[in-house]
Amino acid sequence: MNTGLRELTPTWTLPLRQRYPGVALCAVVALAGSFLAEHYGAPALVLVLLLGFGFATQANTRRLRPGVEFCARPVLRLGVALLGARIGAEQLLAVGNLPLLVVLTCVPITIGSALLLGQWLQLPRMQSLVAGVAVAICGVSAAVAVAAVIPQGRLEERRLLGVVVGVTGLGTLSMLVLPPLFGMIGFSDLHTGLLLGASIHDVAQAAGAGYLVSDPAGDIATLTKLLRVALLAPLILLLGALLNDKQSGPADHPWFLLGFVALFALNSLGWLPEALRQFLVQASGACLLVVMAALGMRTSIGAIIAQGWRPMALLASLSGLLVVTAMATLILYSS
């Protein structure tokens, strides 16, 4: 009897024991980054990523690697599934036609331009796709959501990290530069808020930039930005179907998207209790922090630098294109 139990034990407990050290390290790094972010006002995702870089050598050991790999993929998918609790159909109804027209024009143009410009810069197609969605929709969250539906092996983690670092830096720069720029051009507060929401990558950055102008500008910036975020659900579903349908070999179907859609639907219908919704939103954020820690540990800074100037040139060009497209469509549709 005892022999039989010893033979059966590894099939369900050994993988858990193997993953624990790496998962624990990722969780500690995520907590440390969150603590620093709360006390110094820096973006938590970036701080966690930078801390993760410091453990790259240790994370590659035989003892820690299984847990770090677990955080980099399955935990990523769980975090994306829980993102469904953050958005709902009411975000589509809370804004008028003008923000909707601007967003529906800017997003496809940005993603399409990313694929074309990435090809011209000789960058991998999947990296260009992740960069385009990150700039067009919601920065880091969009980048990791797209990475989660890309079949394994088609996107190197160092390239994903290049997008994460670049889009975060450009979003911070946009928050500081765009409000005075739109004011100098002569846009009203409401139009400035709309443009900020349509062109800044992160929700917090877009809202913060808007409220630097005025309260009405902050409100419209937040609503416009949330409208972009709401497009993440159908886009990820579409990309998941297309990318996994075309790959050769066994399909890696993104079943976690069913959870995303279910939570999105429940939130839209108002069937999620507010306490539960807040818990799921916080859990999603925690998962993304753990994922950033794992991705940082699995990639060296040298590997990112070795990508050269082209990835940052792609992100900077797309960010500029998004601003110009937003202004052009606003002028066109409001005339």
Longest Cα separation, the chain: 82
Find which of 80-94, 206-220, 279-293 is predicted with most confidence, using mean pLDDT.
279-293
- Express as a percent the part of the chain with pLDDT over 70: 87
The CA distance from 44 to 236, in Å, is 24
The CA distance from 122 to 144, in Å, is 22
6 has pLDDT over 50:
no
Q: What is the pTM of this model?
A: 0.70
Taking residues 151-174, what's their average pLDDT? 80
Average model confidence (pLDDT) across the chain:
81
Question: Could you tell me the pLDDT band of residue 4, with boundaries at 50, 70 and 90?
Answer: very low
Question: Could you tell me the pLDDT band of residue 143, with boundaries at 50, 70 and 90?
Answer: confident
Question: Could you tell me the pLDDT band of residue 92, with boundaries at 50, 70 and 90?
Answer: low
Alpha-carbon distances, residue 98 vs 151, 217, 317 (angstroms): 36, 15, 25
Contacts of 24 (CB under 8 A, 6+ apart): 67
The CA distance from 257 to 83, in Å, is 10
The residue with greater pLDDT, 227 or 235, is: 235
156 has pLDDT over 90:
no
- Express as a percent the part of the chain with pLDDT over 90: 23
The CA distance from 76 to 198, in Å, is 26
> What are the tens digits of pLDDT across the range 31-81?
999 999 888 877 787 788 889 888 888 887 888 888 988 887 788 778 878
